[in-house]
Structure 1
Amino acid sequence: MAATGTKSVLFVCLGNICRSPIAEAVFRKMATDAGLVDKWRIDSAATSTYEIGNPPDHRGQACMKRHGVPMRHVAKQVTKDDFMSFDYILCMDESNLSDLKKKANSVKNCKAKIELLGSYDPQNQLIIKDPYYGSDEDFEKVYEQCLRCCKAFLEKNT
Structure 2
Amino acid sequence: MSTPYRICVVCTGNICRSPMAELILRRRFEDAGLADQVEIDSAGTTAWEVGNPADPRTLAALRGHGVDGPDLDAHRARVFERSWFAERDLVLAADHGHYSTLRRLAPTPKDRDKVAMLRSFDPAGVPEAEQGMDDPWYGDDDSFETTYAEVVGAADGVVEHVRDQLSH
TM-score, length-scaled by structure 2: 0.85
Aligned pairs (5 A) from 1:72-91? 72-91=74-93
Given that residues 10 and 45 in structure 1 are in contact (C-alpha distance below 8 angstroms), is that contact kept between their aligned partners in structure 2? Answer: yes
Which of 12-21 and 69-78 deviates more?
69-78
Which amino acid is 1:44 matched to? Answer: S
Match status 1:11 vs 2:12:
no
> Counterparts of 1:147 and 1:38 in 2: how far apart (Å)?
21
Structure 1 residue 137: Cα displacement: 0.8
Where do 4+ consecutive residues of structure 1 move more than 6 Å?
none
Structure 1 residue 108: Cα displacement: 5.0
Structure 1 residue 118: Cα displacement: 1.1
In structure 1, stretches of 5+ residues that fail to align are: none
Which of 66-75 and 145-154 deviates more?
66-75
Match status 1:127 vs 2:132:
yes
Match status 1:143 vs 2:141:
no
The corresponding residue for 1:94 is: 96
> Counterparts of 1:108 and 1:59 in 2: how far apart (Å)?
37
Structure 1 residue 126: Cα displacement: 0.9
Structure 1 residue 151: Cα displacement: 1.1
Structure 1 residue 156: Cα displacement: 2.1
Q: Where is the helix percentage greater, Structure 1 or Structure 2?
A: 2
> Counterparts of 1:129 and 1:38 in 2: how far apart (Å)?
32
2:46 maps to which of 24, 28, 48: 48
> Counterparts of 2:32 and 2:119 in 1: how far apart (Å)?
21
Given that residues 84 and 109 in structure 1 are in contact (C-alpha distance below 8 angstroms), is that contact kept between their aligned partners in structure 2? Answer: no
In structure 2, stretches of 5+ residues that fail to align are: 164-168
Given that residues 84 and 110 in structure 1 are in contact (C-alpha distance below 8 angstroms), is that contact kept between their aligned partners in structure 2? Answer: no
The corresponding residue for 1:115 is: 116
What fraction of aligned residue pairs are identical, expressed as a percent? 37
> Counterparts of 1:61 and 1:116 in 2: how far apart (Å)?
23
Match status 1:69 vs 2:71:
no
> How large is the RMSD of aligned CA atoms in angstroms?
1.6
**Per-residue displacement from partner, 1:104-157 (whole Å, max 9, x unpaired)?**
1xx258536101101112331411111011011110111111111111110122
> Counterparts of 1:92 and 1:109 in 2: how far apart (Å)?
21
Count of aligned pairs between the two proteins: 153
